[in-house]
Chain A
Amino acid sequence: MTRLLNKPLRAFILYSLVVLATSIPAYYLIIDYIWRLQLDEHNQLVSKKTQNELSTLSLNDTLLKQSIELWDRIQPGTVLEPVSQAEMRPDSIYTVLRPNKYDPDGYINRFRGLSTYFILHGKPYRLIVETNVEESDETIAAITVVTVFFFLLLLGGFIILNKRISVRLWKPFYRTLEKVQHFNLSRQQNIQFEDTSIKEFKELNDALQHLIEADMTAYRLQKEFTENASHELQTPLAIIRSKLDLLLQSSTLTNEQSDIIEQATRALSRVSRINRNLLLLARIENNQFADRQQIDLSGIVNENLLMLDEHLSNKGIEREKDIDDAIQITGNRTLVETMVSNLLLNAIRHSPAGGKIKVQLSARQLRISNSGNGPLKEDGLFQRFSNISHESPGSGLGLAIVKQVCNRYGWEVSYSYSQDFHVFTIRF
């Protein structure tokens, strides 16, 4: 993950690199153009001056010839020679690359030349003026060096500026982020954002505040709803149950009718249990089991197993236990008992007849395994009503309660399937 500010930084750097890179040929072309223009002008001046001076000197042909030879020998970069009439051409400008005999290293040099023709004393002459120009590669190299230097300067500047901006400018943003990250909906504590003078951050904070408040209200209403709804259901459920009990006393019942009553009573028991569990979940979420005490977990597990012994043998389930003595944990007794009994009941309920359950308890973890046929879908296993099956109707809330209790005390509950056993582990 890249930080937000590094994104524009990268773009800026890339952009300046492109700009500076394209500036290299641009500079070169301009410099070279100016240079050539300037040299052409210079060559033109030299040629004009030479022609003028020569024509103002009143020299005879022999002297002229001698002078020209002398000129040619000592004047660097110019060649003056007589040509035939047929060789006369219009003036021309050219660039040539050749070794310079005065260059000690004998490098190839670049020359800008002017070749001009004129008539002196009725005879045609050609004057060539050549001036050394900086070679293009040397120009390019020089420009590149300068450009790279400036690019590095920009790069350094960008990075330093970026750092300072990110520290100072984005401070309110990171503070907001930190607060939102530490926000816990179930704790129902509103966030107070710091004041900021930057419009965007202010808007962000306001929007977040709004969102959080709405969330908290929705969450609170939902919890209250669950609790109130479960509450309100208890009394009508009690009435139905009492009426069914009374109905059973009627002396004119047939076997069939009594069966119907029994079935209704059972279904009602299930509704009552679901309702009670919903209420329990809502209460855990509402922090109604705040007190903590040292609890003898070994004792709780053993007691639960003892209570379940009868049901285990009824179902022909073999039991294997490996429970360390005097394991103490801190928590609310009711919640811990509920958690243990839910896990054990779950194991028994989902064991096939003649299966086996294993209970292991050490200081670090509680592990309850039961034989099964194939792994469960882990997705949403600990969610409410995710795991209701028709073969073994539970309340659909047992594992959700286990998870909720674990969350509360920072324990970690996990499910795995190994060697034909469903394994539920709680790490303390």
Chain B
Amino acid sequence: MLIIEDEPELAASITDYLSGESYLCETAASFRQALEKINAFEYDCILLDLMLPGGNGLDILQEIKHRKREEGVIIISAKDAVEDKIKGLQIGADDYISKPFHLAELAARIYSLIRRKQFNNTNVLRQEEIEVNLLAKTVHVHGKVVNFTRKELDLLLYFMANRNRVVSKTALAEHLSGDIADMLDSHDFVYAHIKNLKKKLAEAGATNYLKTIYGSGYKWES
């Protein structure tokens, strides 16, 4: 994984968080450095900040796509401008996340991107007795189908992407409903979804992997 980000503190945070998820991270802090790394190595995923010393991140993206490289690219931008987002996605970026973001959210996007690339769109995630078919959007526990709502499935994937990490309720609320939860200042709905998720998993006989931590966070242990 290559993190192209000129802000060392942010790059360090991302590296720190993702390393805990057994990703191997390298960083590049400038346009030139980024091109050098891309030339030298291949990555599974590249995080790309658009505003770099020495050049525009979009040019790096052009370069990657020009060489028909297989890396997934997630744009990280402080600009939050629609045009940039559209332009980036048009050139061939796989995702776009605007600053400031939760590390858990970034991890979920990376996870989803890498799964998509690696399994050529037919992937099934497995955690002991739990099986998630990402294409069919179905979940099997001990081989039996469990019916989840879209949001419950979303949450399950989010937790699996952030396994063994503490995810705050705020991050979950923002993941599920963007600004809305925050603006309404109500994060209770997260609790309701998690309760349902846990209940359905337990009823299907799955181990309780999802732990409540410190009252306001959750952790998927595996």
Contacts and interface: CB of A to CB of B under 8 A. Distances in A.
Interface in A116-152: none
B182 A262 contact: no
B205 to A, nearest CB: 28
Interface stretch (B60-68, B78-86, B114-122): B78-86
Contact of B78 (A238, A254, A288, A308): A238
B180 A311 contact: yes
Interface of B: 7, 9-10, 13-14, 16-17, 20, 78-83, 98-104, 165-166, 168-171, 174, 177, 179-186, 188-189, 192, 213-217
A202 interface: no
A259 B166 CA distance: 13
B180 A245 contact: no
B183 A314 contact: no
Nearest to B49: A235
Given A237-B100, A238-B100, A243-B13, A288 B81 contact: yes
Interface in A221-269: 231, 234-235, 237-243, 245-246, 248-249, 253-255, 258-259, 261-262, 265-266, 268-269
Shortest 9 CB-CB distances between A and B: which pairs? A258-B214, A242-B13, A234-B78, A238-B100, A238-B99, A237-B100, A245-B103, A241-B100, A262-B216
A297 interface: no
Contacts of B186: 311, 314-315
A262 B169 contact: yes
Given A258-B214, A262-B217, A311-B189, 14 more contacts: A234-B98, A237-B100, A242-B14, A245-B13, A245-B17, A254-B214, A255-B215, A259-B214, A266-B170, A314-B188, A315-B184, A334-B82, A349-B184, A349-B185
Contact of B100 (A234, A258, A261, A349): A234
A240 to B, nearest CB: 7
B169 A269 contact: no
Residue with the highest number of chain A CB atoms closer than 10 Å, among B13, B16, B83, B181: B13
Nearest to A332: B82
Interface string A279-312: 1000100001100000000000000000110110
Nearest to A254: B214
Interface in A316-342: 334, 341
Contact of B217 (A237, A258, A315): A258
Nearest to B7: A235
A76 interface: no
B102 A234 contact: no
A246 B16 contact: yes
A262 B183 contact: no
Interface residues of A, number: 49
Interface in A80-111: none
B164 to A, nearest CB: 9
A139 B211 CA distance: 118
A380 interface: no
A307 B215 contact: no
A234 B79 CA distance: 8
A308 B100 contact: no
Nearest to A393: B185
Contact of B102 (A241, A270, A394): A241
A246 B83 CA distance: 31
B215 A258 contact: yes
B10 A239 contact: yes
Contact of A265 (B101, B168, B213): B168
Nearest to A256: B214
B183 A345 contact: yes
Contacts of A349: 183-185
B99 A234 contact: yes
B178 to A, nearest CB: 9
A266 B179 CA distance: 12
A272 B10 CA distance: 16
Contacts of B180: 307-308, 311, 341, 345
A270 B182 contact: yes
B166 A242 contact: no
A310 B213 CA distance: 25
Nearest to B176: A310
A234 B174 contact: no
A238 B216 CA distance: 21
A276 interface: yes
B50 to A, nearest CB: 12
A273 interface: yes
Contacts of B79: 231, 234
Most buried by B among A234, A288, A307, A349: A234
A349 B215 CA distance: 25
Given A235-B78, A315-B186, A349-B183, A245 B102 contact: yes
A395 interface: yes
A234 B165 contact: no
B216 to A, nearest CB: 4
